[in-house]
Amino acid sequence: MLRREDHYMIKQRHQQGAFIVDIAHQIGCSEKTVRRHISYPAPPTAKRGKKQVAKLEPFKDYIDSRLSEQVWNAAVIFEEIREKGYRGGSAMLRRYIHPKRPLRASKNTVRFETLPGYQLQHDWGEIIVEVAGSPCTVNFAVNTLGFSRCFHVFAAPKQDAEHTYESLVRSFNYFGGSVKTVLVDNQKAAVIKHGQNGNIEFNAGFLQLANHYGFSPRACKPYRPQTKGKTERMVGYVKHNFFTRYRQFESFSHVNQLLAMWLVKVADQRHLRQFKQTPENRFTEEKTALMPLPAGDFDTSYFDIRQVAWDSYIDVRGNRYSVPSFWCGRAVNIRIGLDNRLRIYGDEQLLVTHLLQEVTQGWQKVPEHHQALWQQVNRVESRSLSVYEELL
């Protein structure tokens, strides 16, 4: 059982918005114990009889030897001493081990600190909440500046390449500048594969994004998520803070509107105990080190090539869309934005814009596109009757 001081510290740290895992690490107990004390209205008390404590006495030397061997799992030790004749409970054993936990060898990963404006870490999270009155999976991209810990969140229906790139574009606009390196996980939107000798094949679209904003792409080693631990922690922070405050939304736009307010009022004001500052304070130093943004945003639209059929239509995602008949039999470029607008280009000129529709909505057409085709169909050749009289 924890001390009264530990109980009040848990309560205080929880009210400050600290993660349960951080509180457990600081106190030296399990996350389950932290949750239990958060639910208690007052510090629990217990009466320990001398007879019960005496049950553990013959086994303390053995327990200490196992702890010296770095065996700290109380459940394992409990089973071992039961086989040796221990008849007490596991709680007594845990109370004996708890004060010794500061002697445990640390398994913490050394955190790599970056210079201002040097690195941004990207990661995705997801959660099921209510959107437009129905349960919906909300995917959210978290982009965290390595120095200031200031981050931006973008909610989206998918974790595909277009939304990944859009999240980074919005983050750079939010911060007012770009960084020298962007560290990503191994999602296909950014990384095709890890080759030999540490060579990484990046997605062509991600390389275009990197070239547009002038950053160098970096990827975590496979099965090594600690590399981008700063943004990994922020994914959990968004889940347990923002999505605890808000559970119902009208649309994805509504999610992003609330996120924008929450970032300013809550996330940027959180206390960073290792720096004794807030992200907002540290960002004032990092902002001056960011690289300037290019003249225009990177186009995150999906792009492909289509062949225009004889009837002046192209196929896109199961439906058909009209194109000026002059392009029949020729190739055109298409771009699909996150606003579900289909833009069709020929010779780098915008030919037409359609709003994507379900197949049930029918083919999408512009009447003017088929005028030339109808003129050809309605053109009937006229001949003199003398031509037929000669045949007789």
Q: Where along the chain do its domains lie?
A: 4-103, 119-287, 302-378
Closest CA to 345 of 355, 357, 330: 330
Compute the half-sphere exposure of residue 392: CA atoms within 13 Å on the CB side of its CA. Answer: 5
| 49 pLDDT tier (thresholds 50, 70, 90) | very low
User: Quick one: average pLDDT of 346-375?
Assistant: 86
Q: Comparing 391 with 373, which gets the higher pLDDT?
A: 373
| 109 pLDDT tier (thresholds 50, 70, 90) | very low
pTM: 0.61
Give the tokens for residue 252. 């994805």
pLDDT of amino acid 269: 93
Q: Which of 48-57, 164-173, 251-260, 297-306 has the lowest mean pLDDT?
A: 48-57
Given a cut of 50, is residue 322 above it in pLDDT? Answer: yes
User: Quick one: average pLDDT of 10-15?
Assistant: 84
User: Mean pLDDT for the chain?
Assistant: 84
CA angle 108, 110, 115 (to 5 degrees): 145
- Three-state secondary-structure class, residue 37: helix
Instruction: Tell me the CA end-to-end span of the chain in Å, nearest whole number.
Output: 117
Superfamily of domain 119-287: Ribonuclease H-like superfamily/Ribonuclease H (3.30.420.10)
Indicate the DSSP class of residue 88. Answer: S
Closest CA to 34 of 48, 17, 16, 22: 22
Among 69-78, 93-102, 173-182, 194-203, the range of highest mean pLDDT = 173-182
Helices 74-83 and 90-97, interaxial angle, to 10°?
Answer: 120
Sign of CA dihedral 267, 271, 276, 281: positive
pLDDT of amino acid 61: 82
270 close to 241: Cβ distance less than 8 angstroms: no
| 214-244 pLDDT, tens digit each | 999 998 876 555 444 455 688 989 998 999 8
282 close to 150: Cβ distance less than 8 angstroms: yes
User: Quick one: average pLDDT of 273-301?
Assistant: 92
